[in-house]
Structure 1
């Protein structure tokens, strides 16, 4: 950006605003950086991919990029796997994901799926409240530690799931239960 001309910066700003990221938003500078680093063609292709994969509208793309433009740096494979999990397995709506795009950047094996297992277990055992986007510390404090007496193996199974192992003691009543 330091070597770009004023005209190039104006063009990048217009492109960013065209994506739905308002000029005054906190992430506007980051989106300008991504426009410079990745180029308009790559970003346009990624936006098209996000719209087709997640079923997002132009407005939802703008919402997501205004909150977390780093989604543009993620590979198509990574976005595909996470979107399939979030949409199909969790049953989340595209608009919900657009308002929380950081979920697309979380590790599927290290965070999303293990937490899904815990949440599903807690729900089926009448112990659930809901969330995927808490810090690890808060998640442990809110969802693992309070249930240690009722579910003594929950912490160990969660740790195993975080390591990518199949949790052996999670028992679910039905094959698919939405959170």
Structure 2
């Protein structure tokens, strides 16, 4: 681990956080205790009928885009509107706007299958009984809807107070740290650690999900402090998502394990500096086993890549190390063998390997083949980056819709859509 850290560069603006033990000690005025509970999840085994109804309901009732509704339907599913309708009516009765409700459902769709009368209603009433104004209630629940998945008034109260203080912190320059009596045990560590991350400048969009989740980075005490020091020393920006990714990796893996992974990459031709550079771009780079790493390089070499080309590809697109052998083979064979782009084109633009085969690679490739067969773009393939590294609209404008022959445009669109 330390051979990796030596190549890290501290950010100048993070120097003030060098004494992290002080931060941890300062942020832990904890005394009371309470237990946490897991949020009930819907079964992943849902019927097509339920999925279809869920999508239609979300689109019609909340105006959500169909793709978003489809994504939500994979997490929750229902076959009638009774329960979700009662949930939406309850939220509206407490002053939540349609925009806030859409945000809540997007972030925490499990709420739609909760019991509005026996579970959600009493929780909202309890928060109001503690003096929460309508605007405070809607803002806090919209920011962290998962708070309504917690059990017990004491639990909800602690989360609510912490979130409220955090929001006020950003709105008032006169804010002073509140000395709540936070619960002991796992929650003691959790809230203390989240407080430290807040002090480092982590934004709400990253901070609040950690607060109500069971994610590894915010648990523990000594391990958290040790891991946080290392990530800060590596130069990761605490306002970025990569900071959390790095913290997860460092906290889950021992120094010995990380050292072994670094050594594995070194045996493949990477020096420690290269490993560090890739890790900074994609922290999950170090989560793959040595077996997976060796298997991936064997796949690339078997497809005609040299070791140097593989090394360059991974440096430019570290996610490539995690692709399955089947995915790499299918995409490479289509692009290199069927389309005749050279391997070096993939090495220069490796992100193309991460695109959807069905939605992007094959449809666009087939359009280019049709244009070449008709002699409309010459005998040579266009730049692979011009074909794939652009939005669908740009691609269609560039290679399909620009033609004056309407019949040709119709034919090309049919090829694009049928692929």
Q: What TM-score results when the alignment is normalised by the length of structure 2?
A: 0.34
Q: Is the 8 A contact 1:15 1:40 kept in 2?
A: yes
**Correspondent of 1:63 among 312, 318, 327:** 312
Structure 2: distance between partners of 1:9 and 1:145: 51
Q: What does residue 100 of structure 1 align with?
A: 349
The two structures, once aligned, show a CA RMSD in angstroms of: 2.7
Number of aligned residue pairs: 160
* Partner Cα distance (2:409, 2:400) in 1: 9
Q: SS state of the match for residue 111, structure 1?
A: helix
Instruction: Quote the residue 1:144 is aligned against.
Output: 400
Distance 1:155 1:90 in 2: 17
- Partner residue, 1:160: 417
Deviation at 1:106, TM superposition (A): 2.3
Aligned ranges 1:19-168 → 2 under 5 Å = 19-21=268-270, 23=273, 26-29=277-280, 33-36=284-287, 38-52=288-302, 54-128=303-377, 130=382, 131=384, 132-135=387-390, 136-149=392-405, 151-154=408-411, 156-161=413-418, 164=419
Kindly state the Cα deviation for residue 59 of structure 1 after the two structures are TM-superposed.
0.4
Label 1:122 to 1:32 Cα distance change in 2 as closer, same or farther (>3 A): same
Question: Deviations 1:2-21 (Å, cap 9, x if unpaired)?
Answer: 24444443443343344445
Find the residue that maps to 1:127 and give its secondary structure: coil
Task: Return the offset for 1:63.
Answer: 0.7
Please say if residues 279 and 285 of structure 2, whose CA atoms lie closer than 8 Å, have aligned partners that are also in contact: no
Structure 1 residues 48 and 56 mapped into 2: Cα distance closer, same or farther (>3 Å)? same
- Give the alignment's TM-score, normalised by structure 1: 0.73
In the TM superposition, residue 139 of structure 1 has moved relative to its aligned partner by 0.9
- Give the conservation status (yes or no) of the 8 Å contact 1:21–1:66: no
Q: Deviations over 1:43-98 (max 9, x none)?
A: 1111112211x211110110110111212222222222212212221122223222
1:170 aligns with: none
Helix, strand or coil at the partner of 2:401 = helix
Unaligned runs of 5+ in 1: 165-179
Say whether the 8 Å CA contact 2:355–2:361 is kept in structure 1: yes
8 Å contact kept, 1:118–1:154: no
Structure 2 unmatched runs, 5+: 1-249
Instruction: Look up the SS of the partner of 2:389 in the other structure.
Output: coil
Change over 3 Å in CA distance of 1:138–1:18 after alignment to 2: farther
